[in-house]
Amino acid sequence: MGMKEKLEQIKEEALKQIQSSDALDRLNEIRVNYLGKKGELTAVLKSMKDVAAEERPRVGQMVNDARAEIEAVLEEAKSRMEKAALDARLKSETIDVTLPAKKNNVGHRHPNTIALEEIERIFIGMGYEVVEGPEVETDYYNFEALNIPADHPAKDEQDTFYINGDFLLRTQTSGTQVHEMEKGKLPIRMIAPGRVFRSDEVDATHSPSFHQVEGLVIDKHITFADLKGTLAEFARELFGEETKVKFRPHHFNFTEPSAEMDVSCFKCGGKGCRFCKGSGWIEILGCGMVHPNVLRMSGIDPQEYSGFAFGVGLERIALLKYEIDDMRLLYENDIRFLRQF
């Protein structure tokens, strides 16, 4: 048998074995058996010394060709098998994607805070600074400096918790206006969120402790039109682009002119529903132009400066926005309630 036939035979045998192999291990075995150091093709190369010198290049070429062919087929078989193995693995690893998620169980913000952060975001965007004032307050900041003199019935209306004659729990965040104005830095654009207290018994719509967000702008040439524009913008941001606002005259001692702002009912769009008691409007906040007496007491000349102020009840916004029907839920901290926000 000539060299050529022998090589052919080895090659055929190798290809046959590759063809019939069914595992990567087996392929490796075949590689070793034919192409390894002690493999059959290597043996042929080793027997080259018996070949005539002029034949050697040709035989060498034949051996290399056979080797290349076997390697190519081996490689092809290997990748085919790897793919099949991968397919099989992927198939076997199919999972039920509808099984429950493994959540990280992050906690939830209180609805009051969510509403507050919305409000803060809107006003920060309009250049307002968020500040705070004390919760235990003096009579002066809570009443007198806000144009509510000693014998004024408004003091009774607000059912104040007193510590003693001079100190009380603030009934409104409006005192923060005075603290800010007294700092003497103008212009002012601020909102002041915070806790306030009134001696209301706890029920579904009352709490002796709740939150307000006070707003104050003081500058030259601030007008009632600016107040309307600012709060209309706020309402659209908070309740949606379609929201309409209505300003009604009202009375607060520390603003003049004063107003209450209603927004078109975001439930029915203003057609009238149970939510807005059929009126199509929902009362949201009180506001007005800062009373000249208040400016004067805080050391600001009302001839030169003017400003507007507003106060929003945070719980009211939270209850409305999230359709919470009982204020007591806000202070019970039942995790089943908190997890809904």
Partner 1 sequence: MNSALSWIKAYVPDLTCSDQEYCDAMTLTGTKVENYARLDKNLEKIVVGQIEKIERHPDADKLIVCQVNVGNEVIQIVTGAPNVKEGDKVPVVLDGGKVAGGHDGSPMPEDGIEIRAGKLRGIESKGMMCSIEELGSDRNMYPEAPEYGIYIFPEDAPVGGDVPELLGMRDTVFEYEITSNRVDCYSILGIAREAAATFRKPFYAPVVEVKENKDSISDYISVEVKDPDLCSRYCARVCTNIRIEPSPEWMQKRLRASGIRPINNLVDITNYVMEEYGQPMHAFDLDTIAGHKIIVRRAKDGDQFQTLDEQVRIMDQDILMICDAEKEIGIAGIMGGENSKITDDVKTVLFEAATFNGPNIRKSAKRLGLRTDASGKFEKGLDPHNAEAAINRACQLIQELGCGEVVSGMVDVCQPMKEEARILFEPDRINDLLGTGVSRQEMLEIFRMLEIQYEETANELVIPTWRQDLECCADIAEEVARFFGYDKIPTTLPTGEATTGRLSYKLRIEQKARDIAEYCGFSQGMVYSFESPKVFDKLLLPTNSPLRKTIVIANPLGEDFSIMRTISLNGMLTSLATNYNRRNKDVRLYELGNIYLPHQFPLTELPDERMQFTLGMYGSGDFYTMKGVVEEFFDAVGLTGTSSASAFGKKKKVVYNPQSGKPFLHPGRQADIEYEGRVIGYLGEVHPLVCKNYDIGTRVYVAVLDMPCIVEQATFDRKYEGIAKYPAVSRDISMVVPKEILAGQIEAMLEQRGGKILESCQLFDIYEGEQIKEGYKSVAYSITFRAKDRTLEESDVSAVMKKILNGLEGMGIELRQ
- Interacting positions 180-239 with partner 1 (CB under 8 A): 187, 189, 195, 197, 199, 201-202, 208-209, 217, 219-226, 228-230, 232-233
> Integer distance in angstroms from the first to the last C-alpha of the chain?
87
335 binds partner 1 (CB under 8 A): yes
Choice between 90 and 106, CB closer to partner 1: 106
101 binds partner 1 (CB under 8 A): no
Place of tokens 């919760």: 135
- Rounded to the nearest whole angstrom, what is the least distance from the CB of residue 112 to partner 1 in the complex? 6
Residue list 124-183, contact with partner 1 (CB under 8 A) = 124-132, 134-138, 151-154, 156-157, 161-164, 166-167, 169
24-30 LR contacts (CB < 8 Å, sep 24+): 24/78, 24/81, 24/82, 24/85, 27/74, 27/77, 27/78, 27/81, 30/74
Per DSSP, the chain holds a count of helices (H) and strands (E) of 13, 9
Q: Determine phi and psi for 107, rounding to 5 degrees.
A: -80, 180
Q: How many residues bind partner 1 (CB under 8 A)?
A: 85
Identity of the residue numbered 99 = L
Strands 306-313 and 281-290: antiparallel
- Rounded-to-integer distance, Cα 67 and Cα 234, Å: 80
Of the candidate spans 10-18, 54-62, 75-83, 329-337, the one that interacts with partner 1 by CB under 8 A turns out to be 329-337
Choice between 80 and 251, CB closer to partner 1: 251
Choice between 78 and 246, CB closer to partner 1: 246
Residue list 59-88, contact with partner 1 (CB under 8 A) = none
- Residues 6 or more apart in contact with residue 211 via CB below 8 angstroms: 112, 116, 193, 194, 195, 196, 313, 314, 315
Among 37, 38, 92, 107, binds partner 1 (CB under 8 A): 107
Residue list 263-322, contact with partner 1 (CB under 8 A) = 289, 291-293, 306
Among 16, 251, 271, 328, binds partner 1 (CB under 8 A): 251
